[in-house]
Homo-oligomer: A and B are copies of this chain.
Amino acid sequence: MKKEELGFETIQLGHGSGGLMTRDLLDKIIFKSFSNPYLDQKHDGSIININGRIAISTDSFVVSPIFFKGGNIGELAVNGTVNDVAMCGAMPKYLSLAFIVEEGLKVEDFAAIVNSIKKAADESGVQIITGDTKVVERGKGDKIFINTTGFGEVNPKAKIASVHIQNGDKILLNGFVAQHGMAIMSQREGLEFESTIVSDTTNLNFLVNDLINEFGDKIHLFRDPTRGGVASVLSEISQDIHKGVVIYEDKIPLEKQVAAACEILGLDPLYVANEGVFMVIVDASICDDVLNFMKKDPKGKNAAYIGEITQEHPGKVVMKSAIGGKRIVSPLIGEQLPRIC
């Protein structure tokens, strides 16, 4: 989509009016990109047929910058919500899509974001079925914010809930931590490394679904450690279930470059946001099988067992270092990296 074909160069207030300019923007970019029988009705809502247990999740994305190494706010908005639905043990099927655009956004940027949304939605197997576009005056927003709400069918084999977690359960991650946060952060700080750190934004729904199909109710919990990172998710879980968590420092999958970037910026990788990482807590009996299963999938090839649930120190997360030291991993308090997603 070139600005010559579109007939306008920037998003203007009128594009949020609900009048002809809005329709023009929708027709030329949105409806053209996402055409499907639901959206093609062009109404305020959409009607779908659903039966059974449905997982629903919503997220607004305010990441800055909107284009970053490894992705942009558009695919993040799809993958983020797809993954939240997947963490419920469900296969995402539909997304709603709502934009809040700051007046003056280049229409080429908007179109590029929409293209990424389309691509990410196709890759995840979800359809955009309804949406909304608002425009705010220059200086009253920041380029573009995106809300997506996702709906998915819960896998009948899934029995995912923190109440099922038992002492001795094993904790695994599917891959390297802290990549998304450090990609954004090094870009903001203008840091150059030997190779570029790229965001890990990707969909996780297929691997998650395969795991459920393979291991059923022996999988007790999925969580994606986005804002607040692995440390915050583990802290929340240990408090929710009143059990302890032990993790092993040398088992946390961490890419060298990312570790270096964290050190330079004084950030603990355990608190840095991820977008393509999930944690799975499983019955101890299947730990090795889950690890091997994940390693065969491109999205799990760096999977690792990182720790376990314990009856000791309930409500607390303890990290053991390679040389036998112990420290408490406290939950994140305030903001480490604002607008990371």
A residues near B, CB below 8 A? Answer: 12-14, 16-23, 42-62, 64, 84-85, 87-88, 90, 94, 96-100, 129-132, 134-137, 139-142, 145, 147, 149-151, 154, 223-224, 226-228, 232, 236, 240, 273, 331-336, 338-339
Cross-chain contact A332 with B17 (CB below 8 angstroms): yes
Within the complex, the shortest CB–CB distance from A73 to chain B, in Å, comes to 12
Cross-chain contact A129 with B56 (CB below 8 angstroms): yes
Query: Can you report 11 residue pairs joining A to B where beta carbons are below 8 Å apart?
Result: A13-B334, A17-B333, A17-B334, A19-B232, A19-B335, A20-B333, A44-B84, A44-B87, A139-B139, A141-B145, A147-B149
Question: Known: A13-B334, A19-B334. Contact between A45 and B226, CB under 8 A?
Answer: no
Cross-chain contact B60 with A53 (CB below 8 angstroms): no
Known: A44-B224, A45-B150. 13 other contacts (CB 8 A): A13-B334, A14-B333, A18-B232, A19-B334, A19-B336, A20-B331, A20-B334, A45-B56, A49-B52, A49-B53, A51-B52, A58-B97, A141-B142
Q: Which residues of B contact A51 (CB under 8 A)?
A: 50-52
Q: Which residues of B contact A48 (CB under 8 A)?
A: 53-54, 56
Q: Which residues of B contact A18 (CB under 8 A)?
A: 226-228, 232, 273, 332
Q: Which residues of B contact A23 (CB under 8 A)?
A: 236, 331
Question: Known: A18-B228, A100-B60. Contact between A136 and B142, CB under 8 A?
Answer: yes
Identify A14's interface contact among B85, B90, B94, B335, CB under 8 A. B335
Q: Which residues of B contact A22 (CB under 8 A)?
A: 227-228
Question: Known: A23-B236, A136-B339. Contact between A58 and B149, CB under 8 A?
Answer: yes
Q: Which residues of B contact A273 (CB under 8 A)?
A: 18
Cross-chain contact B46 with A57 (CB below 8 angstroms): yes
Identify A17's interface contact among B58, B60, B336, CB under 8 A. B336
Q: Give the complex CA separation of A85 and B47 in angstroms.
A: 9
Within the complex, the shortest CB–CB distance from A217 to chain B, in Å, comes to 15
Cross-chain contact A47 with B100 (CB below 8 angstroms): no
Question: Known: A149-B96, A149-B149, A236-B23. Contact between A16 and B58, CB under 8 A?
Answer: no
Cross-chain contact A60 with B135 (CB below 8 angstroms): no
Cross-chain contact B130 with A58 (CB below 8 angstroms): yes
- A19, A226, A335 pick with most chain B CB within 10 angstroms: A19
Q: Which residues of B contact A94 (CB under 8 A)?
A: 56
Instruction: Write the chain B residue with the least CB distance to A133.
Output: B60
Cross-chain contact A130 with B57 (CB below 8 angstroms): yes
Cross-chain contact B140 with A142 (CB below 8 angstroms): yes
Q: Give the complex CA separation of A158 and B37 in angstroms.
A: 19
Identify A55's interface contact among B42, B47, B60, B223, CB under 8 A. B47
Within the complex, the shortest CB–CB distance from A191 to chain B, in Å, comes to 21
Within the complex, the shortest CB–CB distance from A89 to chain B, in Å, comes to 8
Cross-chain contact A60 with B334 (CB below 8 angstroms): no
Q: Give the complex CA separation of A85 and B46 in angstroms.
A: 8
Q: Give the complex CA separation of A141 and B90 in angstroms.
A: 33
Q: Which residues of B contact A151 (CB under 8 A)?
A: 56
Q: Give the complex CA separation of A145 and B142 in angstroms.
A: 12
